[in-house]
Chains A and B, each alone.
Chain A
């Protein structure tokens, strides 16, 4: 499988990531699914959840789940720990320029657990 943005309507499989309680406050966890690494973020301050590819598009490192989250003009974002490039958590867009962005995935909270949606 490739890293490709999945919209909620396209979801075929909802995969359980972990219990909500296992997540750090305002932080992320990585998650393995069919050869992909997905970073899932608990944005506690906004009461929101986001999922993106874990792979940084700049240096191809499996790292974004360890990135710091925050906002820029209200847009929720994650900063890559290696070179501090930032990406929108909503659209995956690279906020520092026009270079590659991230694939994003829908997240659902059910029965105290965190679920991420995939097309297959």
Chain B
């Protein structure tokens, strides 16, 4: 069989990919024509091209992929005619190619409205990489730009223009942005956020004329107003490319597109159409997911599975648009007769949520989320599967307000037919079967076998929940065991190390594990050994993560960064000069960190011991920035200088940082001390935070910044310094002993049965009677602390380990640096 594919966009690529995957080794001959000069690229992420003009980064697969699969890819060659009688196509180069099956994946072109003056210089469409090249080049010499069209793509284009430092306007014909997906309230919120970024939004503007002498300089609207601009980017939607239809006698739809049946066949059963070029039930689907589904169906049809049919697709969408989360699904704006909308706006947080309920209150018809789309996945499932709504449907967007957990309920309530991964079209049932039928017991393996979560990744957490739920339902205990080599949880391993006194990984693996270990259990046990014995980690260097192994933080390009400890952020001018001199001598990039210290980047591995020798001679110690260990205790100015300060926060921060320096834990630890409740040290955003009160200190625990910021909670109030230290000893040791690997204190606390009340009872009231023991264990770790870098600098054997090559004295010749703002930076990586 010979298959000819016309068009080489995302859907065309997906067709080839699925064909190769499902058919195994290809017996068919496949020829793909694309009229652009490069192979298929990711148009969904087109705006990324503005950041880095690399078409290669956007490619779905390089041309070599087609070659390896035995597919003949002919880019830069346009098909000009289809001869159905002789079953062949003709190209503009005069070539003829016969086919048994023809796939039309011609996609679409930008829809350009008929406006007078459209031909002027400075008017561009936003569709292909070529268009972007022209926009970028034209944009270099102008000041202002406007985008015609306030839909998804238009807004993306506007953000790109803004990033080119152009004064940017968005012009929308409707009375709101994204009129297909959002209602007025949601669109207004989105508009406010976009305006805050510096993009001006003009609504209800019907463009009548584009004015200018050769090059545009003004737009006129029907309401009599006008807009001065130097460039106009058109983003008003798409037009399916059906130029080949007329000559070949193929039927087309009213909105364009080749008319197809449920098998994606045109009126000639040998010719299929997929993606944006297809018109199914008078609908053209301008999203990539339905296109992929069509590609999949045609592959199944060709392989003889006649049951694979298309029955329309869901146009729901969730995306991050210019930094704003937007979700829209089903009947978003409430067009269903008698439907009941429920909405909630929080102008302070900048969020809007709306759901539309059927008139009988039983089903969810659709909805809109702006500013916070976390509930999208669950709401979308309710909608798609017609799951019965809770008695108070408003709980869906407001959350249950009686203190219970979210009313979205557990994933267990979803039917097995619910689609969990929309990129790869995987249902809940398929995930369950992977566990039940195939006997797979790990999330990673389920992902590998079902492909769920391998696309955009948004559903990964749901996949993990389904796997765990399914295993629980089968009576399998879901134990959070470390990995295939140890059938124990971290807490059990910690206790085993403590009880047995074993100090080396290999001995422990022999007695309690199996196999040869891996990159999960080695560093986890290394951390446990360090937390139990605080012995030098360089003694077992190859079980450490690379940062701990080389006592520095690996960066892009394979160089390392160096962070000397600056307790409490206090440093003398002399020490500052040493850091500056070392940075100059070794050509290091310097940057102030968030933890009030200085990071020196770009050190070659072989220079690390020399750099540290200089720092240590000047009185510095390791900052442990490379370890899952105490980082910094940040401080504000404190009462020595500050007119508001109640106590000396700097001195206290320095003594706390020196107390716990080098302490290794399941994850990094950060602390802070503020001298008054103005909280300049941001102590409530740390694993432990200490804030001065009139009569003492308040101690907060369990906070962090990062991806999911959490406020620390009050553990004890108005206590003296000695009590702060005693509670901190207990709290940190309790965390170190019981947390899972790589859980920050906030995550650990959220999983702790009984939560904060239980923690208070253990630490403050000593309900378990382990307070003294925890303090003694901490004191022992503090007593044996040694600066790791001082040990290495003074030990020639250890120094020898800091080398790139076994057989050359020089360093890695492949390491490359660029310059930026007068300092070196690593060359960008693959």
Contact = CB atoms under 8 A, between A and B. Distances in A.
B516 A61 contact: no
B484 A72 contact: yes
Interface string A41-69: 00101100000000000111111001111
Contact of B550 (A66, A69, A77): A66
A25 B801 CA distance: 12
Contacts of B805: 29-32, 37
Contact of B829 (A17, A61, A71, A77): A61
Nearest to B515: A71
Interface string B541-561: 111011001100010111000
B830 A58 contact: yes
A73 B25 CA distance: 28
Contact of B516 (A24, A37, A45, A86): A45
A37 B506 CA distance: 29
Given A29-B806, A61-B557, A68 B519 contact: yes
B371 to A, nearest CB: 31
Interface in B554-608: 554, 556-558
A93 interface: no
Contacts of A66: 546, 549-550, 554
A22 to B, nearest CB: 6
Which of B545, B558, B829 has the most C-beta atoms of chain A within 10 angstroms of its own C-beta? B558
A68 B812 contact: no
Contact of A70 (B518, B557, B558): B518
B806 A40 contact: yes
Given A62-B814, A70-B516, A25 B542 contact: yes
Contact of B814 (A18, A37, A71): A37
Contacts of B541: 24, 27
Nearest to A86: B519
Interface residues of A, number: 40
Contacts of B556: 59, 61
B517 interface: yes
A97 B518 CA distance: 18
Contact of B806 (A22, A73, A84): A22
Nearest to B815: A62
Given A43-B516, A45-B506, A97-B448, A81 B814 contact: no
A43 B517 CA distance: 11
Nearest to A48: B516
A26 interface: yes
B114 interface: no
A102 interface: no
Contact of B804 (A26, A30, A43, A72): A30
A76 B516 contact: yes
Contacts of B814: 37, 62
6 contacts: A24-B541, A25-B542, A37-B805, A61-B829, A62-B558, A62-B815
Interface of B: 448, 484-485, 506, 515-519, 521-523, 541-543, 545-546, 549-550, 554, 556-558, 801, 804-808, 812, 814-815, 829-830
Interface of A: 16-18, 22, 24-27, 29-32, 37, 40, 43, 45-46, 58-63, 66-74, 76-77, 79, 81-82, 84, 86, 97
